[in-house]
């Protein structure tokens, strides 16, 4: 599952040799993220975000486990138990703000990771399975984040749960029973809170499991790279350690600085003030908005405002919202271009940036109240979103004339300077 020139694990210390015979865990680590995993030498900083997403999950699990020691999943006292953490638990404010800010930063790095994949064609053969597992992780993250946001039992928690579980009631005939089954009642209440807490604690470990599969699948073909050209020989790669551990270490530092600035100096900037009001089923907030990382999908949901082809608008919205993510599952087969990197796809590159702007516009529409001009803008943006993936991408891959690819990674890096003094990775 690796290149023939990958270095082999050779334990020197007798203890490590003994360990290697009984349980070759160090060997596994060495081959996964150590000197035994050859990686293209030309990765840019956009290849840091996988490791950063892993770090963000680690922060969430660590802080989450401690929060669960103090939190009470009971509709009567959940809100107060969170305030108890903020006021009376030693450094409780730090742990809770790290968890709430950490959720946002998890999504920030995952969105950058996804768009990296879209730009550099990471979803294409032979890495389709890596991409599919990534979409599964993304879906699990969204479910986990949604249920986590319900736990403080503030106004937005309650009404968010009301709105999101309400999606299921759009399904004809069985919708309402499904909604009640999910909630454990007619409206969000104690039963809802308890099951959401249970699942919110479970799903991160499921995510961790799928991440193992994600990395496993990645290691079969090896990492992609900004040129999209396959690795041809040892001169194209460097061992993951120390080269990319060093680079990821620096990237992690930058990530933690940005994270800390938000955590310590603006911990509530990405939250909604209404969630500091205890849930009240009798008082609906003026505008129900989800967390920022759901805004684009919320905008797609709300942009379907007319009944069309005998299907009610609400059902269209729900179907479209789920489809907007589900279509990522078929993306590897929609884009038929054999060229991976957008650097060599002049036409695709333009549409890629259009998509980035489109998603940002959708996000803006998602946070605005459903009034003009935002509804019309969101309808336009949502139409582009679907057209981009389902119509434009397949056409581009047919008509585009790609730029000439470099012969190899090392050629693109060295730019015709010939050989370096020492073969890479040999002296490290």
Partner 1 sequence: MVRPIAFLAGLVFVAALVVALLMPREAADITAPQIFHKHPRELHLASDGPLGRFDRQQLQRGFQVYKEVCSACHSMSLVAFRDLEDLGYTKAEVKAIASQWVVEVPSVNPDTGEATTRKAAPADHFPSPYANEVAARAANNSALPPDMSLLAKAREGGAAYIYSLITGYAPVPAELKKRFPDAVPPPTLHYNPYFANLNIAMPPPLVADGQVEYGDGTPSTVDNYARDVSAFLVWAAEPKLEARHRTGIAVVIFLLIATTLGYFAYRNVWAGRKH
Q: Which of 214, 247, 272, 388 is catalytic?
A: 247
Can you read off the two tokens belonging to residue 313?
A: 């608008």
Q: Is 248 a catalytic residue?
A: yes
Among residues 13, 309, 401, 404, the one that binds partner 1 under rule CB under 8 A:
309
Binders in 227-266 for partner 1, by CB under 8 A: 238, 242-243, 246-247, 249-250, 252-254, 256-257, 260-261, 263-265
Whether the CB-CB separation of 37 and 239 falls below 8 Å is answered with yes
Among residues 276, 288, 367, 405, the one that binds partner 1 under rule CB under 8 A:
276
Q: Which runs of consecutive H residues, i.e. helices, occur in 220-244? A: none
Please give the Cα distance from 131 to 332 (Å, whole number). Answer: 8
Nearer to partner 1, 4 or 418 (CB): 418
Return the SS3 of 35.
Answer: coil
Least distance between partner 1 and beta carbon 148 (Å):
19
C-alpha triplet 117, 260, 103: angle, nearest 5°: 50
Can you read off the two tokens belonging to residue 81?
A: 């138990």
C-alpha triplet 364, 251, 129: angle, nearest 5°: 70
Binders in 36-95 for partner 1, by CB under 8 A: 41-43, 80, 83, 86-87, 93-94
Least distance between partner 1 and beta carbon 138 (Å):
19
Q: Per CB under 8 A, does 372 bind partner 1?
A: yes
Q: Per CB under 8 A, does 316 bind partner 1?
A: yes
Q: Is 247 a catalytic residue?
A: yes
Can you read off the two tokens belonging to residue 315?
A: 């059902």
Whether the CB-CB separation of 413 and 41 falls below 8 Å is answered with yes
Return the SS3 of 239.
Answer: strand
| Stretch of residues binding partner 1 (CB under 8 A), selected from 13-21, 141-149, 353-361, 389-397 | 389-397
Among residues 184, 288, 380, 406, the one that binds partner 1 under rule CB under 8 A:
380
Q: Per CB under 8 A, does 390 bind partner 1?
A: yes
Can you read off the two tokens belonging to residue 167?
A: 């999606």
Can you read off the two tokens belonging to residue 67?
A: 């929060």
Q: Per CB under 8 A, does 305 bind partner 1?
A: yes
Can you read off the two tokens belonging to residue 200?
A: 């919110």
Q: Is 287 a catalytic residue?
A: no
Q: Which residues are catalytic?
A: 219, 223, 247-248, 291
């Amino acid at each position: 599952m690796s290149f023939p020139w990958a270095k082999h694990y050779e334990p020197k210390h007798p203890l490590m040799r003994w360990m290697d015979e009984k349980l070759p865990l160090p060997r596994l680590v060495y081959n996964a993220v150590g000197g035994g995993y050859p990686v293209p030498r030309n990765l840019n900083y956009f290849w840091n975000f996988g490791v950063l997403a892993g770090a963000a999950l680690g922060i969430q699990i660590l802080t989450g486990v401690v929060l669960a020691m103090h939190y009470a999943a009971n509709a009567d006292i959940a809100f107060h138990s969170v305030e108890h953490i903020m006021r009376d638990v030693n450094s409780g404010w730090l742990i809770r703000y790290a968890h709430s800010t950490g959720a946002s930063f998890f999504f920030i790095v995952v969105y950058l990771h996804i768009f990296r994949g879209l730009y550099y064609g990471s979803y294409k053969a032979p890495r389709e399975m890596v991409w599919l597992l990534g979409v599964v992780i993304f879906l699990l993250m969204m479910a986990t984040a949604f249920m986590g946001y319900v736990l403080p039992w503030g106004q937005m928690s309650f009404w968010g749960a009301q709105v999101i579980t309400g999606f299921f009631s759009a399904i004809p005939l069985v919708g309402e029973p499904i909604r009640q089954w999910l909630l454990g009642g007619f409206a969000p209440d104690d039963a809802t809170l308890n099951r959401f807490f249970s699942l919110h604690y479970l799903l991160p470990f499921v995510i961790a499991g799928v991440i193992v599969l994600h990395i496993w699948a990645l290691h079969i073909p090896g990492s992609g790279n900004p040129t999209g050209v396959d690795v041809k020989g040892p001169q194209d790669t460097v061992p993951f350690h120390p080269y990319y551990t060093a680079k990821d270490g620096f990237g992690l530092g930058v990530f933690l600085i940005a994270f800390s600035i938000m955590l310590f100096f603006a911990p509530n900037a990405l939250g909604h003030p209404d969630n500091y009001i205890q849930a009240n089923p009798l008082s609906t907030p003026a505008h129900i908005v989800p967390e920022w990382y759901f805004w684009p999908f919320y905008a797609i949901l709300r942009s379907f405002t007319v009944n069309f082809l005998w299907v009610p608008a609400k059902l269209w919205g729900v179907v479209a919202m789920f489809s907007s993510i589900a279509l990522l599952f078929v993306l590897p087969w929609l884009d038929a271009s054999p060229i991976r990197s957008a650097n060599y796809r002049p036409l695709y590159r333009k549409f890629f940036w259009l998509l980035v702007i489109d998603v940002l516009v959708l996000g803006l529409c998602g946070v605005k109240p459903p009034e003009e001009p935002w509804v019309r803008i969101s309808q336009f943006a949502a139409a582009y979103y679907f057209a981009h993936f389902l119509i434009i991408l397949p056409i581009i891959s047919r008509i585009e004339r790609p730029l000439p690819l470099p012969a190899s990674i090392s050629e693109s890096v060295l730019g015709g300077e010939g050989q370096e003094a020492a073969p890479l990775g040999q002296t490290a």
